[in-house]
Structure 1
Amino acid sequence: MRIANLSGRLVIISGAEAVDVESASGGRFSADPQAVYERWPEFLEWAAGSSPTTGVAFSADQLQPPTPCPRQVFAIGLNYHDHASEVGLVASEVPIVFTKFVSSFAGPTADVPHPGGEVDWEVELVVVIGAEARNVAEADAWDYVAGLTMGQDISERKTQHAGATPQFSLGKSFPAFSPMGPWIVTPDEFADPRDVALETVVNGVTMQSGRTSDMVASVAMLIASLSRILVLLPGDVIFTGTPAGVGLGMKPPRYLSVGDELVTRIEGIGEMRNRIVAGV
């Protein structure tokens, strides 16, 4: 199943059409795209047993972040060995965790204002939590996953590295620096949700190409590790890290400019297309 945020309303994507959940459920479930995760098992049961409903055609420009306001956002740094190597660092077996502020969330076709500085790309698989998780065993972790989507962890490197210690969260949270989408796909839709291809393309040139099976800490390991320390809440999101191919790692470094087209693709999910525009 694929669910999305269509102009602020929760929908199920059926082919090229969108089915409004509030209308189809007779008001049983809210139109709020974020609220559904509090009742995720109930929603899955309803969706599996509901009669087919005619949807409406839609355009990609109507899609907004599929999880628009999670209570907690986790982002993982240096979670691919090749990415750590390209920036001159060593991948850590202990997950490096920061956040991306929700005000940076944007839809899959949103324009990204360029704030100046060195703006970089980072394709990431994004995990959406479907049940409260505390002290979860790694073997059980996928039971707590509502679905997968994609995101760009866009980063302004000068801000990120300013100060005595890195400012990861600030450098990665300018407006529209967290485009997500185009929808959330439940794990059963994948041949193997632990191993999917992901890539970044800038102006038609492939910059990143990797597989999630190459992560240092897998999705299951991340959920187990985080839930040992804190409670993961329904609707929380985890940006799981990026493979090699970021602009910072190139020689010389290459960064995004106004007018660039940033295309993000993940196997089994789809693609996003974001344009870099002049900042305001």
Structure 2
Amino acid sequence: MRIARFVHTGSGETPAGVAWGTVEGPSGADRSALTVAAIDGHPFGPIAFTGDRWALEDVRLLSPILPSKVVAIGKNYSDHAKEMGGDAPETPLIFLKPSTSVIGDRDAIRLPPSSSEVHYEGELAAVIKRPARNVSVDDALSYVLGYCAANDVTARDQQRSDGQFTRAKGYDSFCPIGPWIVTGLDASDLRLVTRVNGQVKQDGRTSQMVHDIAHQIAFMSGVMTLLPGDVILTGTPAGVGPIVAGDTVEVEIEGIGVLSNPVVAS
């Protein structure tokens, strides 16, 4: 199931507004062939449909979730750790991105004037479906609602100068996620490709993670309670690099689809 959150223009007696829905149509099909069926309420329980339906091209996709927090892991691919000048840590290196950094598919990444070196980092994101605290590795994946594509946008110059991640990764628009959440997906070995202006920059597989998703969730839940809708960014493969105003960044993940965002100056 592909769960989307979107703005619609209304249907029948349903006023215009924001809703969750499921995307219908063949996987990999052009968006013009897809529809979205509205669900009643939120996607964290049994799914009930309202009967309202729109062509996907007639709605505006939003970020599929508004998390209370985004918990990310750094240097979780060995090749990326090496390109950053070090080795992958034995213990997961985690950091937070604020909820205000989250944007959706086709929303603009806005470059802050205080940074001259902003990088893309294509990643797989996991969305939590129920409260998780001190969960075991064996049970960790049962707390996942589904997966989406993400971009851990980073002001690399500020990451270096600050010696920590908060400012460099916390700007508004620095966490695109989408285009939707895919449930029931085995995310252990998916191809992840990042393109800038159509040129491939990253090409990895989730099986290359140093710490797999279950171990990440178990570790993070031992530090803080993960709430329904919280997003886990699982790390980026090698090939990170700069983006500038006028670029378009695409993160494509096998079984999920393409997250696309233009880059603009603030």
Q: Does residue 211 of structure 1 match 2:198?
A: no
Higher helix share: 1
Contact 2:64 / 2:180 at 8 angstroms: preserved in 1?
yes
Q: Does residue 261 of structure 1 match 2:248?
A: yes
Per-residue CA shift, 1:56-114, capped at 9, x if unaligned? 1022871111112x122201100000100111111012111111111111111011222
| 1:120-135 → structure 2 map (5 Å cutoff) | 120-135=119-134
Contact 2:38 / 2:52 at 8 angstroms: preserved in 1?
no
Aligned length: 246
For structure 1, the residue ranges without an aligned partner over 5 or more in a row are 23-28, 30-35, 248-254
Q: In structure 2, which of residues 18, 23, 35 is the aligned counterpart of residue 17 of structure 1?
A: 35
Structure 1-normalised TM-score?
0.83
Query: What is residue 181 of structure 1 aligned with on the other side?
Result: 178
Q: How far has the Cα of 1:228 moved from its partner?
A: 2.2
Q: In structure 1, which of residues 95, 98, 101 is the aligned counterpart of residue 98 of structure 2?
A: 101
| 1:1-280 → structure 2 map (5 Å cutoff) | 1-7=1-7, 8-15=18-25, 16-22=34-40, 29=41, 36=42, 40=44, 42-43=45-46, 46-47=47-48, 53=51, 55-59=53-57, 62-68=60-66, 70-116=67-113, 117-163=116-162, 165-166=163-164, 168-186=165-183, 188=184, 190=185, 192-247=186-241, 255-279=242-266
Q: SS of the counterpart of 2:161?
A: coil
Q: Percent identity?
A: 41
Q: How far has the Cα of 1:200 moved from its partner?
A: 0.7
Query: What is residue 250 of structure 1 aligned with on the other side?
Result: none
Over aligned residue pairs, what C-alpha RMSD do you find? 1.8
For structure 2, the residue ranges without an aligned partner over 5 or more in a row are 8-17, 26-33
Q: Name segments (4+ residues, structure 1) moved above 6 Å.
A: none
Query: What is residue 29 of structure 2 aligned with on the other side?
Result: none
Q: Which amino acid aligns with 1:72?
A: K
Q: Call closer, same or farther: CA 1:12–1:61 in 2, change over 3 Å.
A: closer
Q: What is the distance in 2 between the residues matched to 1:106 and 1:54?
A: 25
Q: Which amino acid aligns with 2:57?
A: S
Q: What is the distance in 2 between the residues matched to 1:210 and 1:56?
A: 35
Q: What is the distance in 2 between the residues matched to 1:128 and 1:6?
A: 17
Q: What is the distance in 2 between the residues matched to 1:3 and 1:169?
A: 30
Q: What is the distance in 1 between the residues matched to 2:104 and 2:225?
A: 27
Higher strand share: 2
